Amino acid sequence: MASKLWEKNVQMTAEIEKFTVGRDREMDLYLAKHDVLGSMAHTTMLESIGLLQADELQQILHELRNIYAVAESGQFVIEEGVEDVHSQVELMLTRKLGDIGKKIHSGRSRNDQVLLDLKLFTRTRLHEIAECVNDLFQELITQSNRYKNVLMPGYTHLQIAMPSSFGLWFGAYAESLADDMLFLQAAYKMCNRNPLGSAAGYGSSFPLNRTMTTQLLGFDSMNYNVVYAQMGRGKMERNVAFALATIAGTVAKLAFDACMFNSQNFAFVKLPADCTTGSSIMPHKKNPDVFELTRAKCNKIQSLPQQVMLMMNNLPSGYFRDLQIIKEVFLPAFDELEDCLKMTAYIINKIEVNQHILDDPKYDFIFSVEEVNRLAAAGMPFRDAYKKVGLDIEAGNFTPNKNVNHTHEGSIGNLCNDQIQALMQQNMDGFNFEKVVEAEKRLLNV
């Protein structure tokens, strides 16, 4: 069995080791390439302060790049008896380089190593989520523009209310995502600060150059106070979880609408056939399974902030093993949300819209407000116009005029989609992803 980084002379029983390690080795596979990237920056800094020789650094960087390639290809494994990703990387280095490989841990603790890995992982996944959100946004805007003149009923209290349009319906979810992107951007900016050098939460007696590792890894700044850097464990995950949950809330609502509008009672839209399933006994069924699963998964993601909060809540400053469990709910959430975003974008691209919904007379009364406003615009006091139309409806004398003329900003006739697109582009530009991408390329020599 491989020794542990912290092990001295006392060995754990197998049962206690299984309990304390838990799913950490499985979760650490998410972090493998990020752990390597952090080690590349750290060892480059160690050489600059005289703790590594130049030739030792080049050997280490060469092997770390090889390990990074293994991790990127999905072939990285944490061997039996090896506790975590940090131990595995160090073991792989020492097998190749001998004692040189053992030098990479100088000036850092597993605590700041985990903090760094989590931040590098999270900012990468936030970049991917942002791109997926933007892709879905573009599909929604395209469909909003395509169907801007197709009317549909709007609802309050699940009662038919006033005329709406597919332009408004698709565009509403697009603008919701533009707002959600602000949460994502805030989470990214809080994440993109360097904790490396905080060691176990109290700094190091080595003359570390934290500014150097901050620049090498493309961080916007560092977590300056080393105690606060450690306090950020859990806080960063909670803040990011709120951003993911906000996006999930938008997608869950869209999925519910689409499931409802796809049903025969509404028949407003038709979902792509490959996203529906049949029944084992009812040959007519086309169940909206993809959107139902999307709704459930997104509702699950909306519980993530509370899960993280309860795990880290009321802990005093300093490191505690409780924080390890956060990884089990936090790391897989990105894949789940990304899958939901991609599925939703696929469906929105292929969704078919019923362009004759309002031919059905049961929707005639949604034009009652239009008639009240027409009479008021002609000079009748609003309350008198309201009463007249109400009495006409009760007497069965109401005949709808289905020509709507809404012109104000954000209405049926003036969707403001160009402004909504500009808002999304502004929010996307605010991340400054290019800085991180270029820094990581420089480290990897690509």
Cα distance between residue 77 and residue 79, in whole Å: 6
Mean pLDDT of 265-292: 85
Cα distance between residue 6 and residue 26, in whole Å: 20
Q: Residue 429 falls within a domain, yes or no?
A: no
- Going by pLDDT thresholds of 50, 70 and 90, the confidence category of residue 147 is very high
Q: Residue 435 falls within a domain, yes or no?
A: no
Tell me if residue 270 falls in helix, strand or coil.
Answer: strand
Mean pLDDT of 356-380: 94
Same domain, 340 and 199: yes
Q: Residue 436 falls within a domain, yes or no?
A: no
Of 401, 82, 432, the residue nearest 92 (C-alpha):
82
Same domain, 330 and 390: no
Are β-strands 352-353 and 269-270 bridged in parallel, bridged antiparallel, or unpaired? antiparallel
Same domain, 318 and 344: yes
Residues contacting 340, CB < 8 A, separation 6+? 248, 251, 294, 297, 298, 301
- Going by pLDDT thresholds of 50, 70 and 90, the confidence category of residue 413 is very high
Of 333, 116, 321, the residue nearest 238 (C-alpha):
333
Domain CATH code at residue 347: 1.20.200.10
Q: Which of 105, 131, 149 is the last residue of a domain?
A: 105
Same domain, 401 and 299: no
- Going by pLDDT thresholds of 50, 70 and 90, the confidence category of residue 314 is confident
| Range list of H helices, 1-109 | 14-21, 24-28, 32-48, 54-72, 85-97
Same domain, 172 and 270: yes
Mean pLDDT of 269-274: 92
Number of neighbours of residue 175 by Cβ within 10 angstroms: 23
Q: Residue 138 falls within a domain, yes or no?
A: yes
Put residue 256 in one of left, alpha, beta given phi > 0 → left and psi -120 to 50 → alpha: alpha
Same domain, 145 and 249: yes
Tell me if 348 sits within 8 A of 139, measured CB to CB.
Answer: yes
Q: What is the pLDDT of residues 240-253, one digit of tens each?
A: 999 999 999 999 99
The confidence score (pLDDT) of residue 9 equals: 54
Instruction: Please report where in the chains the tokens 């969707």 appear, as a residue.
Output: 415
Inter-CA distances, 383 with 89, 302, 364, 376, Å: 76, 44, 21, 9
Tell me if 269 sits within 8 A of 351, measured CB to CB.
Answer: yes
Of 207, 169, 83, 187, the residue nearest 129 (C-alpha):
187
Cα distance between residue 111 and residue 176, in whole Å: 37
Q: Report which DSSP code applies to 49.
A: T
The confidence score (pLDDT) of residue 1 equals: 43
Tell me if residue 308 falls in helix, strand or coil.
Answer: helix
Q: Report which DSSP code applies to 414.
A: B
pLDDT at 300 over 60: yes
Q: Residue 199 falls within a domain, yes or no?
A: yes
Same domain, 101 and 116: no
Domain CATH code at residue 95: 1.10.275.10
Q: What is the pLDDT of residues 35-93, one digit of tens each?
A: 999 999 999 999 999 999 999 999 999 999 999 999 999 999 999 888 899 999 999 99
Cα distance between residue 194 and residue 115, in whole Å: 9
pLDDT at 18 over 90: no
Cα distance between residue 367 and residue 359, in whole Å: 13
pLDDT at 4 over 60: no
Cα distance between residue 163 and residue 412, in whole Å: 9
Q: What is the pLDDT of residues 149-194, one digit of tens each?
A: 999 999 999 999 999 999 999 999 999 999 999 999 999 999 999 9
Task: List phi, psi (to 5°) of 396.
Answer: 75, 25
Residues in the chain: 446
Same domain, 347 and 372: no
Q: Which of 358, 389, 424 is the last residue of a domain?
A: 358
> Side-chain half-sphere of 393: how many Cα atoms within 13 Å?
17
Same domain, 163 and 281: yes
Domain containing 366 equals 360-411
Same domain, 157 and 53: no
E strand or H helix that includes residue 427 = helix 417-429
Q: Residue 430 falls within a domain, yes or no?
A: no
The confidence score (pLDDT) of residue 6 equals: 46
| Range list of H helices, 358-416 | 368-377, 382-395
pLDDT at 279 over 90: no
Residue type, 26: E
Structural domains counted in the chain: 3
Q: Residue 179 falls within a domain, yes or no?
A: yes
pLDDT at 285 over 90: no
Q: Which of 76, 105, 134 is the last residue of a domain?
A: 105
Residues contacting 230, CB < 8 A, separation 6+? 111, 112, 115, 195, 198, 200, 201, 317, 318, 319
Cα distance between residue 194 and residue 113, in whole Å: 11
Burial class (CB in 10 A: 0-12, 13-18, 19+), 218: buried
Mean pLDDT of 357-371: 94
Cα 240 to chain center, whole Å? 8
Q: Residue 374 falls within a domain, yes or no?
A: yes
Same domain, 98 and 114: no
Mean pLDDT of 365-387: 95
Are β-strands 221-222 and 193-194 bridged in parallel, bridged antiparallel, or unpaired? parallel
Same domain, 333 and 263: yes
